[in-house]
Amino acid sequence: MENIDWGLVDWSRAQFALTAMYHWIFVPLTLGLSFLIAIMETIYVKTGNPAWKKTTKFWMTLFGINFAIGVATGIILEFEFGTNWSNYSWFVGDIFGAPLAIEGIMAFFMESTFIAIMFFGWQKVSKKVHLTSTWLVAIGSNLSALWILAANGWMQNPTGMQFNPDTVRNEMNNFWEVLFNPAAINKFLHTITSAYVLASIFVIGVSAWFLIKKRNTDFAKKSMIIASVFGFFSILYTIGTGDGSAKVVAKYQPMKLAAIEGLYEGSTEADLVAFGFVGGEKTKPEVSGIKLPGMLSWLSFGDSKKFVPGIKDLVEGNPDQGILSYNERIEKGKLSIDALAEYKNAMKSGDTENAEIALTVFKDNFEHFGYGYYFGKDPNLLVPNVKLSFYSFHIMVILGAFFLLFFILTFLYSFKNKFQGKNWLLWLSIWTIPLVYIAQQTGWIVAEVGRQPWVIQDLMPNIAAVSQIDKSTVQITFFLFFAVFTALLIAEFKIMFTQIKKAKDINTNENIGGTN
């Protein structure tokens, strides 16, 4: 790794980020809307009220448009693991590939099978069979997210595996440790409930548009009641799992925690930044604003007296807290990498005695393995983008608090039928749709930028994971994907707006939103 093409690394990261962020525009609406549709159809089956059937069909049309485009971007995302990150795919393919294979075989197969019945089986199967298919599509969609997020959670906290020095690959030895990895469980629960929040706000916003236009008002109010209740409980759970995620980050990714709080020097009774600004240098941030004394220690470890390490402690080390400096970890990582090479050479020459010695050195220092790739380099390269992490995190948190109040307000006004003369709230509902998408994107920025430069925490940095291909190839495909994804996004907006605008009286007309 002496001659690193930083341009290749940066462009490969940019291309993957572009694909992931566009993909995540479509996914959360699919996850959340699927359950809202299932709830509405359940009400239809229970009551026999045809208005609920038409309501279900309307939202189902918007779900279908979003689902189709989301699949297209998701396929490209998985291909990029092989094209741009082939070293990563080789290093952990036995582990990372398992959840993705299960996602394709079980979850995606389930949703793709029953989605046909959901859309085209209204007159061909009984109400209960159709309702079951709708619920299975919702469950299948969310199971897809489970396996993908389990794979991502493993990257944040690699567990349930062992490194095979003969094949130079990580191999799974405990599937259940991978699946029930604390990072994976918290990431899954936090992510899907935030998707339910997005879908709920989407339904409320579209319904608000109908109320402003004085069309389909009964349908709109009923949709808003369902969405506001679903969204309220979802945001409560999102906030709760966010707290759990913070504890996981504090334990397994202390640098990410320091970055999102702009914490330079660690301390006991560390303050939590409720609202603030970050200045100073990348590796020596200076934060000003409203701080809550001792709350960061308490939220991270359940004890305000606990020490929370800052960037300085992690980079320079803190012997009093048992924290090795990055230079020490780099030295140990280099020992592990060199010992692995010595082991391979010894085995090749039949020198089993030296092979065993080298293997012992390798295993003793394996937890620092990834740091070895930065031997002879500035250890500050291991510090993520603090300002981007800090602002993304605090924007996400502030918006989360706003959504909680928004759902309460929306439910009260829709349930009591008091929207008359409240156009400000209806317009707020519409403009909250882009805000919830911003919250989704900033959440992923926190998760992924905050752990840089690690592709696999402490084991493989991006400079070791990237494919050794020509940088210009990545640049060309970056702009090609940007054009294609933007076109898909514009197409989705246009199709959805058309479907919403042409929706006839949902309470009396059978042809709703283009779905028969």
pLDDT at 502: 81
Rounded distance between C-alpha atoms, residue 474 and residue 494, angstroms: 30
Pick from 337, 429, 323: which is nearest to 376 by CA?
Answer: 337
pTM above 0.85, yes or no: yes
Using DSSP's 3-state secondary structure scheme, residue 285 falls into strand
pLDDT above 90: percentage of residues in the chain: 57
Residue 484 tokens read as: 């294609």
Residue 161's beta-bridge partner residues? 172
Phi-psi region of 514 (alpha: psi -120 to 50; beta: other; left: phi over 0): left
pLDDT at 504: 67
| Residues whose CB falls within 8 Å of the CB of residue 146, separated by 6 or more in sequence, listed in order | 103, 107, 188
**pLDDT tier at 420, thresholds 50, 70, 90:** low
Average pLDDT of span 195-212: 94
**pLDDT tier at 513, thresholds 50, 70, 90:** very low
Q: Check whether 150 has a pLDDT greater than 50.
A: yes
Helices 127-156 and 108-120: crossing angle, nearest 10°?
150
| Residues whose CB falls within 8 Å of the CB of residue 316, separated by 6 or more in sequence, listed in order | 325, 326
Q: Which residues of 163-186 are buried (b: 16+ CB within 10 A; e: fewer)?
A: bebeeeebebeeeeebbebbbbbb
Rounded distance between C-alpha atoms, residue 512 and residue 516, angstroms: 7
**pLDDT tier at 94, thresholds 50, 70, 90:** confident
H/E stretch holding 292: strand 284-292
pLDDT one-digit tens code per residue, 213-271: 888 888 888 899 999 999 999 999 999 988 888 899 999 999 999 999 999 999 999 99
Pick from 154, 220, 202, 197: which is nearest to 413 by CA?
Answer: 220
DSSP state of 179: H
| SS3 assignment for 10-57 | HHHHHHHHHHHHHHHHHHHHHHHHHHHHHHHHHHHHHHCCHHHHHHHH
What residue ranges do the domains of the chain occupy?
A: 6-253+384-501, 254-383
pLDDT one-digit tens code per residue, 449-481: 999 999 999 999 999 999 989 999 999 999 999
> What is the full DSSP assignment across 192-259?
HHHHHHHHHHHHHHHHHHHHHTT-SHHHHHHHHHHHHHHHHHHHHHHHHHHHHHHHHHHHH-HHHHHH
Tallying the residues shown for the chain, one arrives at: 516
Average pLDDT of span 114-131: 89
Q: Check whether 515 has a pLDDT greater than 70.
A: no
**Average confidence score pLDDT of the chain:** 89
Using DSSP's 3-state secondary structure scheme, residue 430 falls into helix
> What is the full DSSP assignment across 356-407?
HHHHHHHHHTGGGGGGGGGTTS-GGGGS--HHHHHHHHHHHHHHHHHHHHHH
Pick from 365, 376, 344, 387: which is nearest to 458 by CA?
Answer: 365
Measuring CA to CA, how many Å separate 431 from each of 26, 393, 409?
Answer: 18, 21, 15
pLDDT at 510: 39
Pair 469, 84: CB distance under 8 Å = yes
Rounded distance between C-alpha atoms, residue 210 and residue 496, angstroms: 14
Lowest mean pLDDT among 14-23, 107-116, 119-128, 373-382: 107-116
Q: Check whether 433 has a pLDDT greater than 90.
A: yes
Rounded distance between C-alpha atoms, residue 504 and residue 22, angstroms: 31
Rounded distance between C-alpha atoms, residue 509 and residue 516, angstroms: 11
Rounded distance between C-alpha atoms, residue 197 and residue 432, angstroms: 11
pLDDT at 421: 67
Calculate the CA 36 to chain-centre distance. Answer: 21
pLDDT at 508: 40
Rounded distance between C-alpha atoms, residue 393 and residue 299, angstroms: 15
pLDDT above 70: percentage of residues in the chain: 96
Cα Rg, the chain, nearest whole Å: 25
Phi-psi region of 438 (alpha: psi -120 to 50; beta: other; left: phi over 0): alpha
